[in-house]
Copies of this chain bind each other. A is one copy, B any other.
Amino acid sequence: MPRRVTAFSNNTVKRLRSLRDKKARRSEGLFLAEGLRIIAEARDSKRLPEIIAFSAAGAKHPLAAGIIAATEAAGGEAIETSADILSKMSGKDNPQMLLGAYRQPETSLERIDRTAAPLWIAAQALRDPGNIGTILRTGDAVGAGGLILIDDCADPFSVEAVRASMGAVFTQAIATASWRDFQAWLRSDAGQLVGTSLKATEDYLDATYHQPCFLLIGNEQQGLPEPYEAECDLLVKIPMAGRADSLNAAVAAAVMAFSVKASWR
């Protein structure tokens, strides 16, 4: 049976709340997901939270009730609490009525099976967690296998990234790696590394993409560093019709990913 918790000082409340900080996420190995939609998505992907917190109203939805019961049956902790405390935990004024703490998956490159999908997205030094979540969501929609985060990227398990992923944090493989380790892993087997660059001469619509294709997306401010571009098997340009010289990183990833997929029809 779920416990009722009404004190901000309760240990579980404090623990869940701490997961908004990267350090605590790392030391606990947990991350937060909010809302029935994402938590149901997780369950469909065979993932249950280790801790689930909910309001009395939130538990009334049959889907939520089922997930709460399944969480407890699997040895997890369930607490019923107030909207105020849920708000404190999620950092939102209008909190979702359901909030789960999930075990972070292992993110080593070795866990990536590149034959599992024709397309993968790799991002270099991406700083905006919203962009990372949006790219995960796009990856799910386009049929990519997952996202490889190279160098110092924002945390894919932050509340902002999980929110923007709309559940894709549970369906896409996620790996983190240094550039050197990524290079070694990439070249240990087949794979085409594709970058976008203003300096490229080949239009992205005219290029030939091979499977498995690895799309490399650069940092929001600087784009790809020169040596990273040089490592690419194919550099293409997305022509810019206006005054801007670049797209938002998540938009560039999506335009490329959907075009690569379209080229394989």
Residue of B nearest to A41 (CB): B243
A13 within 8 A of B: no
Contacting chain B: which of A17-25, A224-232, A255-263?
A: A255-263
A62 at the interface (CB under 8 A from B): no
Would you list 11 pairs from A and B whose C-beta atoms are within 8 A, ordered by A residue? A130-B130, A137-B247, A137-B251, A138-B247, A140-B242, A141-B242, A143-B242, A168-B244, A241-B261, A251-B251, A255-B255
| A250 close to B (CB within 8 Å) | yes
Contact B205 A244 (CB under 8 A): no
A5 proximal to B (CB < 8 A): no
When the two chains form their complex, are residues B248 and A138 in contact, meaning their CB atoms are under 8 A apart? Answer: yes
**Bound complex: CA A164 to CA B44 (Å):** 34
Inter-chain contact B142/A248, CB cutoff 8 Å: no
| Contacts A205-B265, A251-B134, A254-B251 given; does A141 touch B244 at CB 8 Å | yes
Give Cα A168–Cα B251 distance, bound, in whole angstroms: 15
Majority SS at the chain A contact face: helix
Docked CA distance A254–B44 (Å): 29
Chain A 127-138, CB within 8 Å of chain B: the 1/0 string? 000100010011
**How many Å lie between the Cα of A1 and that of B258 in the bound state?**
52
A138 contacts which of B140, B164, B251, B259 (Cβ < 8 Å)?
Answer: B251
Please give the residue numbers on chain A whose beta carbons come within 8 Å of chain B beta carbons, in ascending order: 41, 44-45, 130, 134, 137-143, 164, 166-168, 171-172, 205, 238, 240-244, 246-248, 250-251, 254-255, 258-259, 261-262, 265
Q: Say how far A253's CB is from chain B's closest CB, in angstroms.
A: 9
- Residues on B with beta carbons closer than 8 Å to the beta carbon of A247: 137-138, 141, 254
Most chain-B Cβ atoms within 10 A of its Cβ — which of A139, A240, A255, A262?
Answer: A255
Whole-angstrom distance between the Cβ of A38 and the nearest chain B Cβ = 11
A169 CB to nearest B CB, Å: 11
Write the nearest CB–CB distance from A131 to chain B, whole angstroms.
Answer: 10
The distance from the CB of A238 to the nearest CB of chain B, in whole angstroms, is 8
* Pair B137/A243 contact, Cβ less than 8 Å: no
Contact B248 A167 (CB under 8 A): no
* A251 nearest in chain B by CB position: B254
Residues of B within 8 Å of A265, CB to CB, are 205
CB pair A171 B242 closer than 8 Å: yes
Q: Which residues of B contact A259 (CB under 8 A)?
A: 258, 262
